[in-house]
Structure 1
Amino acid sequence: MKKTRPTLALGLLASLVLTACGAAPDEGASGGGAASDFTACIVSDEGGFDDQSFNQSAKEGLDRAKEELGVATIAVESEGSADYSTNIDSLVQQDCDLIIGAGFNLDVDLATAAQANPDMNFALVDSTFSDTQGEPVELDNAKPLIFNTAAAAYLAGYAAAGVSSTGIVATYGGMQIPTVEIFMEGFARGVERYNEDNDASVTVLGWDPDSPSTGSFVGDFSNTKEGQSLTEQFLSQDADVIMPVAGPVGLGTLSTVKASSGDQAVVWVDADGYESTSSGDLILTSVVKEIGIAVYNTVQEATEGSFSSQPYIGTLENEGVSLAPFHDYDSQVPDQVKTRIEELRQQIIDGSLDVSTPYDPS
C-alpha cells in the first residue's frame, strides 16, 4: 500500500475558544434580521475543539452559522467531566438562545439544564438526553443529533480488507458504548462481506461481532498513550489497516503508524482525517459524520423558529454519514473494490442490503 503522491498536511482552522465564564459573544459577520439577535453556543467534551474529530466538526458547524447566518456565538471548552455542568451554566447565564453539547458525556448535564430552562433550546451531538438515573428523557426543547454510522463503517471495513497485504486489520474504541461499538461492528461486518465476496480470510483484531465483550477499548477518549500501546500490539500482530474509534486517542495511532515507517494505513472516524489531521498521507479513508452540517442546520432552524425536539439521525441516504475519498491511497485501492463498495452503498440506500446492528440509534 505504498503512497504514490507526496504527503499533504493540512493545518487546522484557527478559532477562538472561550474557556472562562462571562466572555462576550463572538458577533457574526452578517448583519440584519432576527439572526443578528440570536446567540448560538457550544460546549465541548473533554476532547476539546482541537480533537481533529467530532468536537472540531461541531465547532466548525457553529463557525459556519456565524459567518453565513450572522448569529453571535460562544464556545466553551471543557478540560474534564467536572467542567460540564459549570460550562453549561455559564452559557445559560449568558442568555444563549441555543446551547449545543458535543458528545454523549454531556447528556445528563445538558438535560438538567434543558429542564430548568424551558425557554432555551438545547441540542446534543452524538447522543440522546438522559436523566440523573441515566434513563433516556425526551424534552420539548432538546434535540438529539445522532448518526447511524454502521453502513459507512461497513464500507470502510470492505475497503480495509480490500487493500490489506497481510490479511489482518484491526479496530479499537475509546469507551465501550453504543456510539463506538456501532463503528466497530460495521467495520467487522464489512470485512466479513469482503471475505464472502472474494473467498478470502481477512482477520479483524479488536472486535468480534459474536463476542463484543472481548473488544479492545482504551476506557476514555483522552489517553493517547494507551492508543499508542494498542496500536503497537496490533502492528506486532501484522495488522496493516487500523481504525481507532476514540476521538483524540486516535492521534496516538497516527503517531505510532508514522513512527513504524512501515506499510500501514489508518481509517479515521467522525471527520475526514485527511483534511482534519496533519497525517493525511496515512489515512486510507474515513467514516464521516456530517456533524458540522447537522449543527449548522439546527442553528438555522432555531433562528427561523422551526426548532423541534425530533431527533436528527444521519444516514447514508440523507448524506448525514459517508465514506470519505481514498485521497492519496486512491491508486492503491483496486478498481473492483471501488466498484463493489459503490454497489453496496447503493444497496444499503435502496434497502436491499440490511447492515443494521444492535447499536443503531433509534
Structure 2
Amino acid sequence: MRATPRSLSLCLVLALALACKSHKEEPPSPSAAADAKAHGAGQPRIGLVLGLGGRGDESFNDSALRGLELWAAGLKYERGAYKLASPAEFQASLEPELAHREPPIIPLGIIPSVVQSRVAEDYEPNLQLMVDQKVSLIIGVGFMLENAVERVAQHNPGKPFLLIDSPLLNEKNEPYALPNVRAVTYRPEEGSFLAGALAGLVTKGGKIGFVGGMEIPLVKQYEAGFKAGVAATNPQATVISNYTGSFTNFALGKQVGQDVLAKGADVLFAAAGGDGVGAIQAVKEARDAGQEVYAIGVDSDQFHLAPKALLTTVLKRVDLTIYEAVRDQLQGRFQAGLSSQGLKEGGIALAPVRLSFPGKEEALRKVDALKARIIAGELRIPTP
C-alpha cells in the first residue's frame, strides 16, 4: 500500500547552509555557514534522503552518510555543523581493503544535502525536495523508500536516482528498471555465512545467538546465511534466534540480547540496526562482568562499541556503493539498472578480526578458504 504525504520533514543536515525551502528549516550554525562560504561555491550537490532511524545508528544509515559526507565530500558532521575531516580521520575510516583500492577513494569536491525522514509519509516530499534543489544525484537510503523513489523518478525522468538496498518492484512484486534509477541490492547471506563459520569455531558452549530487527526477507537473509555458516564449521552447535520487530529501539535490542545470552549463547550476531547496538551492549556488559561471550556486528564496523567483545562485523558497504555512484555521476558514467553486490564485488565483507582467542590463526584460515570458494562460485549460500 502506497502512503500519501501528510507531514513535513525535518532537515537535520543543512547541505552546508543550502537549506530546505519548503520544509521545516534549521538555521545554519556559524561554522556550517563558514564552511559553505569557503568550500561550497560552484561545487555539485548530492542529495540523500534517510529512512527512519537516521543519523547515529552506528550501522546502515551511518554507512550511507560516511560514503557521502566523509568520503565524497571530505567532511565530518559534528554538533549540527560540517567541518573538514583531517587526512588522519579520512584514512582511519578506510578498512585495509579499501585503503589500497584502485582507483583510490579520495574526496570528490561535492556538497552533501541530507534530509532525515521522521515518518514514512516524508519519503516522497523529501525526494521531491532534492529535485527542487537541483542536486546532481538523488539517493534514497533503504528498502522502505522504494515506492517513493519509483514515483518521484517517474515524475522527474531527467534526474538520476540511486536506490539503496532494494530493486524497483512492479505490481506483481517483480524487479523492473527505470531509465533514470540505479538500484543496488546486496547478498548479505555471504558475509553472514563467514560470520557464522567463525562463530562456530569460536563457541565453547555450542550455543550461538542471532538477534534480528524486523522479521522481513532482508533480515532473514542474514539469519539464513549465519545458520549455514555455523553448520559448516560446527554442525553440533545450536543457533538461538530472536527478533525485536524494529530497527530503532536500543532498549528492546539490549533486552532481547540479554535474553539470548541467558539461554546460553556465547557468541551473538546482531543484525538489527539500532536495536542491534543494544544487543551488542548486552554482550559488552556480560563480558565486562566476566563472561566469555562475543558479539558480531552488522553494516558498519562496530568494533568501537565493544572493543573487548566484538569479533567482527558483517559489512554491507553502502558507503562504497554511494561513493562510487557519486563518482560515476561526476564523471558522466552513471548508468541506471539493477546490480547485486556480494563478496566478489566488494559490496559485502567481514571487518578485521582484532580480538585474540585460542586457535585464531587456524580459524581465520578456514574462514578465508570458505570466502574463496564463495567468490569462485563453488559454494552457494542458502537464502530464505
Q: Does 1:112 align with 2:151?
A: yes
Q: Could you tell me how far 1:72 is from its partner in structure 2?
A: 2.1
**Residues 27, 71 of structure 1: 8 Å contact kept:** no
2:360 paired residue among 334, 349, 353: 334
**Residues 244, 250 of structure 1: 8 Å contact kept:** yes
**Residues 41, 74 of structure 1: 8 Å contact kept:** yes
Q: Which shows bigger deviation, 125-134 or 307-316?
A: 125-134
Q: Does 1:156 align with 2:195?
A: yes
Q: Could you tell me how far 1:245 is from its partner in structure 2?
A: 1.0
User: Cα 1:78–1:133, aligned 2, differ >3 Å: closer, same or farther?
Assistant: farther
Output aligned runs, 1:337-352, within 5 Å. 337-352=363-378
Output aligned runs, 1:158-197, within 5 Å. 158-196=197-235
Output aligned runs, 1:190-209, within 5 Å. 190-196=229-235, 201-206=236-241
Q: Could you tell me how far 1:243 is from its partner in structure 2?
A: 0.9
Q: Does 1:250 align with 2:237?
A: no
**Residues 286, 323 of structure 1: 8 Å contact kept:** yes
Q: Does 1:292 align with 2:319?
A: yes
Per the alignment, residue 65 of structure 2 pairs with 59
2:140 paired residue among 101, 114, 118: 101
Supply the distance in 2 between the matched residues of 1:175 and 1:144 (Cα, whole angstroms).
22
Per the alignment, residue 339 of structure 2 pairs with 312
Q: Could you tell me how far 1:134 is from its partner in structure 2?
A: 5.7
Per the alignment, residue 301 of structure 2 pairs with 272
Q: Does 1:147 align with 2:146?
A: no
Q: What is the one-letter code of the residue matched to 2:374?
A: I
| SS of residue in 1 equivalent to 2:234 | helix
Supply the distance in 1 between the matched residues of 2:115 and 2:363 (Cα, whole angstroms).
43
Supply the distance in 2 between the matched residues of 1:27 and 1:66 (Cα, whole angstroms).
12
Q: Which shows bigger deviation, 151-160 or 121-130?
A: 121-130
- TM-score in terms of structure 2 length: 0.78
User: Cα 1:283–1:80, aligned 2, differ >3 Å: closer, same or farther?
Assistant: farther
2:13 paired residue among 13, 17, 23: 17
Supply the distance in 1 between the matched residues of 2:149 and 2:379 (Cα, whole angstroms).
36
Q: Does 1:302 align with 2:329?
A: yes
Q: Could you tell me how far 1:137 is from its partner in structure 2?
A: 3.9
Supply the distance in 2 between the matched residues of 1:135 and 1:163 (Cα, whole angstroms).
40
Q: Does 1:222 align with 2:259?
A: no
The gaps in structure 1 that reach 5 residues or longer are 1-15, 207-215
User: Cα 1:110–1:103, aligned 2, differ >3 Å: closer, same or farther?
Assistant: same
Output aligned runs, 1:15-54, within 5 Å. 17-18=13-14, 21-22=20-21, 36-54=42-60
Q: What is the one-letter code of the residue matched to 2:111?
A: A
RMSD value, Cα: 2.5
**Residues 28, 72 of structure 1: 8 Å contact kept:** no
Supply the distance in 1 between the matched residues of 2:20 and 2:266 (Cα, whole angstroms).
45
How many aligned residue pairs are there?
Answer: 324
Q: What is the one-letter code of the residue matched to 2:194?
A: L
| SS of residue in 2 equivalent to 1:95 | coil
Supply the distance in 2 between the matched residues of 1:317 and 1:71 (Cα, whole angstroms).
29
| SS of residue in 2 equivalent to 1:281 | coil
Q: What is the one-letter code of the residue matched to 1:243?
A: F
Per the alignment, residue 69 of structure 1 pairs with 108
Deviation readout 1:204-256 (Å, 9 max, x if unpaired): 011xxxxxxxxx32222112232122212211111011111111111111222
**Residues 158, 187 of structure 1: 8 Å contact kept:** yes
User: Cα 1:31–1:48, aligned 2, differ >3 Å: closer, same or farther?
Assistant: closer
**Residues 129, 138 of structure 1: 8 Å contact kept:** yes
Q: Could you tell me how far 1:107 is from its partner in structure 2?
A: 0.7
Supply the distance in 1 between the matched residues of 2:191 and 2:357 (Cα, whole angstroms).
21
Per the alignment, residue 231 of structure 1 pairs with 257
Supply the distance in 2 between the matched residues of 1:339 and 1:66 (Cα, whole angstroms).
37
| SS of residue in 1 equivalent to 2:166 | coil
Per the alignment, residue 4 of structure 2 pairs with none
Per the alignment, residue 95 of structure 2 pairs with none
Q: Could you tell me how far 1:120 is from its partner in structure 2?
A: 0.8
**Residues 211, 276 of structure 2: 8 Å contact kept:** no
User: Cα 1:332–1:295, aligned 2, differ >3 Å: closer, same or farther?
Assistant: farther
The gaps in structure 2 that reach 5 residues or longer are 1-11, 75-106
User: Cα 1:278–1:128, aligned 2, differ >3 Å: closer, same or farther?
Assistant: same
Output aligned runs, 1:120-135, within 5 Å. 120-130=159-169
User: Cα 1:349–1:316, aligned 2, differ >3 Å: closer, same or farther?
Assistant: same
Q: Could you tell me how far 1:53 is from its partner in structure 2?
A: 0.7
